[in-house]
Amino acid sequence: MIRLLFLALLIFIAWQLLRRWLAQQRSGPQAPPSGFSAEPESLVRCERCGIRIPASQVAAVRANCRQCGNDQPGG
Protein backbone atom coordinates (compact mmCIF):
# COMPACT_ATOMS: atom_id res chain seq x y z
CA MET A 1 0.00 0.00 0.00
CA ILE A 2 2.86 2.40 0.76
CA ARG A 3 4.12 1.85 -2.75
CA LEU A 4 0.78 2.90 -4.19
CA LEU A 5 0.75 6.09 -2.11
CA PHE A 6 4.26 6.87 -3.20
CA LEU A 7 3.29 6.41 -6.83
CA ALA A 8 0.29 8.70 -6.41
CA LEU A 9 2.50 11.32 -4.81
CA LEU A 10 4.94 11.15 -7.72
CA ILE A 11 2.11 11.55 -10.22
CA PHE A 12 0.76 14.50 -8.25
CA ILE A 13 4.12 16.27 -8.24
CA ALA A 14 4.64 15.59 -11.93
CA TRP A 15 1.20 17.01 -12.67
CA GLN A 16 1.93 20.17 -10.71
CA LEU A 17 5.22 20.65 -12.53
CA LEU A 18 3.55 20.09 -15.88
CA ARG A 19 0.88 22.66 -15.09
CA ARG A 20 3.46 25.25 -14.08
CA TRP A 21 5.46 24.55 -17.24
CA LEU A 22 2.39 24.88 -19.43
CA ALA A 23 1.45 28.16 -17.76
CA GLN A 24 4.91 29.52 -18.41
CA GLN A 25 4.77 28.44 -22.05
CA ARG A 26 1.39 30.07 -22.53
CA SER A 27 2.20 33.40 -20.93
CA GLY A 28 5.65 33.69 -22.47
CA PRO A 29 7.86 36.72 -22.08
CA GLN A 30 5.62 39.74 -21.67
CA ALA A 31 8.16 42.46 -22.34
CA PRO A 32 9.45 42.90 -25.87
CA PRO A 33 13.17 42.39 -26.36
CA SER A 34 15.23 45.32 -25.21
CA GLY A 35 16.19 47.76 -27.90
CA PHE A 36 12.94 47.36 -29.77
CA SER A 37 9.85 49.35 -28.88
CA ALA A 38 6.40 48.23 -29.84
CA GLU A 39 5.36 51.56 -31.21
CA PRO A 40 6.90 52.71 -34.47
CA GLU A 41 9.71 55.12 -34.02
CA SER A 42 10.48 58.04 -36.25
CA LEU A 43 13.17 57.05 -38.71
CA VAL A 44 16.06 59.27 -39.58
CA ARG A 45 17.60 58.82 -42.99
CA CYS A 46 21.35 58.77 -43.16
CA GLU A 47 22.46 61.29 -45.74
CA ARG A 48 25.59 59.31 -46.62
CA CYS A 49 24.62 55.68 -46.86
CA GLY A 50 20.89 56.20 -47.15
CA ILE A 51 19.77 53.71 -44.50
CA ARG A 52 16.95 54.64 -42.19
CA ILE A 53 17.78 54.57 -38.49
CA PRO A 54 15.41 54.78 -35.52
CA ALA A 55 15.82 58.18 -33.93
CA SER A 56 16.96 56.75 -30.61
CA GLN A 57 19.70 54.67 -32.22
CA VAL A 58 21.13 57.19 -34.64
CA ALA A 59 24.26 57.81 -32.58
CA ALA A 60 24.96 54.11 -32.04
CA VAL A 61 24.37 53.16 -35.67
CA ARG A 62 26.43 56.02 -37.04
CA ALA A 63 29.29 55.10 -34.75
CA ASN A 64 29.35 51.66 -36.35
CA CYS A 65 28.58 52.81 -39.84
CA ARG A 66 31.62 52.59 -42.09
CA GLN A 67 30.53 55.35 -44.39
CA CYS A 68 29.47 57.66 -41.58
CA GLY A 69 32.30 56.71 -39.26
CA ASN A 70 34.96 57.33 -41.86
CA ASP A 71 35.25 60.99 -42.57
CA GLN A 72 37.65 60.52 -45.42
CA PRO A 73 37.34 63.10 -48.17
CA GLY A 74 36.78 62.11 -51.72
CA GLY A 75 34.65 59.06 -50.89
H/E element holding 52? strand 52-54
- Of 9-17, 19-27, 36-44, 61-69, the segment contacting Zn ion by CB under 5 A is 61-69
Q: Does 46 bind Zn ion (CB under 5 A)?
A: yes
Nearer to Zn ion, 44 or 68 (CB): 68
Residue 45, helix vs strand vs coil: strand
Give the C-alpha separation, 42 to 45, whole Å: 10
Asked if 48 interacts with Zn ion (CB under 5 A), we say: yes
Instruction: Catalog residues that contact Zn ion under the rule CB under 5 A.
Output: 46, 48-49, 65, 67-68
